[in-house]
Amino acid sequence: MSFDWPETFVQILPESWASEPLEELALNYDTVENHGWYSNLDYTVEEIVGYVRKGDILIDYSGGTGILAKRLLDRFGSKDVGIIIVDSSPKFLRLALEKFKDERRMAFRHIRFIREERRLERLDEVLGDELLSRGVDGIVSTNAIHLYFDLSETLQAWKSVLRPWGRVFIQSGNIKNPDSPYDEWIIDETVEVIHSKAMEIVREDDAFKRYRDRLNDADYMSQHEALRRKYFLPVKPLEHYLDRLRSEGFDITAVQHQRIAARVDEWYEFLSVYHEGVLGWVGGAEKITGATASDDVIKDRLNLMRLAMDKVFGGAFEFGASWTYITCEPRS
């Protein structure tokens, strides 16, 4: 295998994140790779495997710890295809670098937040001149497009770096598809229902009575609601994304829907990492109160979350989650 990047392209820029120690948050997040509901990547992997050719370069946008990249490399075998993980989290990138540090086909770019302009760097600002001149053959965004605050600017940057014959692969479990069956969940919408059930339990179960008075503190609960919606953004409809893509110069070539089986215990494990965002009002979120939650409070949050999930899903082993897949190309 001898994949060749453009002559002056640097796979890993000399930035501080690349030499930082591994962070617990990234290591905990990376465990979702083993969760059954991450079969949501299978359709995208097969799409990309059928699309790429020898010498192609793909952007794994919001590629995080490299979960998708690992699956792509496993399926590529010895195929000479380059992958650039682009992400705004230095902690996640650092773990991805650790996993792929000896892989010639991998490169990494950190998107910094520009404070004076109150925005993230764009893709065309971090790739480098030689790669911009060449262009990239594909861009993939998995489980992330619903998080992009500056969606139009992001799509504009994608189009500016994509070769005329390139392709974009998008998927998310947080797109409201009008054709989804009634019994399928938008995965992040479960958080609001879990929160509501947790409040019911606190009102009724004396094991949690120490948190009961806070439920009547409108300002306190409102602040935690705002925090929850920063962690888990309100879900937008499919047409919102299709309209933005079309307005930024993309033609939609396919929209697919998949029902993904999500185990309740694995979804609980994932949400547990973000317990402050889900049930921060139990004991008070540090970002609001300024005080770190005690071990006992965190234990109560996690117990309450599990009880609430049992009520939401009726004690079921798994639930059906709705995933949407969008494929598009730059308009000629």
- Locate the domains of the chain by residue range: 16-172, 189-230+265-318
Q: State the Cα–Cα distance between residues 326 and 139, nearest whole angstrom.
A: 12
Q: Radius of gyration of the chain from Cα atoms?
A: 21
The 106-110 sheet, strands edge to edge: 106-110, 82-87, 57-61, 136-142, 162-172, 318-330, 250-263
Give first-to-last CA distance, the chain, whole Å. Answer: 34
pLDDT digits (tens, 9 = 90+) for 228-241: 999 999 999 999 99
CA–CA gap between residue 242 and residue 238 (Å, rounded): 6
DSSP code, position 88:
S
Question: What's residue 2's pLDDT?
Answer: 66
Would you write out the chain's pLDDT as a tens digit for each of its 332 residues?
Answer: 568 899 999 999 999 999 999 998 888 888 888 899 999 999 999 999 999 999 999 999 999 999 999 999 999 998 899 999 999 999 999 999 999 999 999 999 999 999 999 899 999 999 999 999 999 999 999 999 999 989 999 999 999 999 999 999 999 999 998 888 989 999 999 999 999 999 999 999 999 999 999 999 999 999 999 999 999 999 999 999 999 999 999 999 999 999 999 999 999 999 998 999 999 999 999 999 999 999 999 999 999 999 999 999 999 999 999 999 999 999 98
pLDDT number for residue 3: 84
**What are the angstrom distances between the C-alpha of 274 and each of 76, 105, 117, 137?**
33, 33, 28, 35
- Is CATH 3.40.50.150 correct for 16-172? yes
129: its two tokens: 């001149």
Q: What is the pLDDT of residues 185-230, one digit of tens each?
A: 999 999 999 999 999 999 999 999 999 999 999 999 999 999 999 9
pTM score of the predicted model: 0.92
Strand partners, 71: none
pLDDT at position 178: 87
DSSP string, 114-161: EGGGTEEPPHHHHS-HHHHHH-EEEEEEES-GGG-TTHHHHHHHHHHH
Quote the percentage of the chain above a pLDDT of 70.
99
Q: Cα–chain-centroid distance for residue 211?
A: 31
Q: What secondary structure does DSSP assign to 91-122, as a single string?
A: HHHHHHHHHHTT-TTEEEEE--EEGGGTEEPP
Q: Which of 207, 188, 194, 210 is closest to 282 using CA atoms? A: 210
The average confidence (pLDDT) of the chain is: 95
Rounded to whole angstroms, the Cα distance separating 213 from 204 reads 12
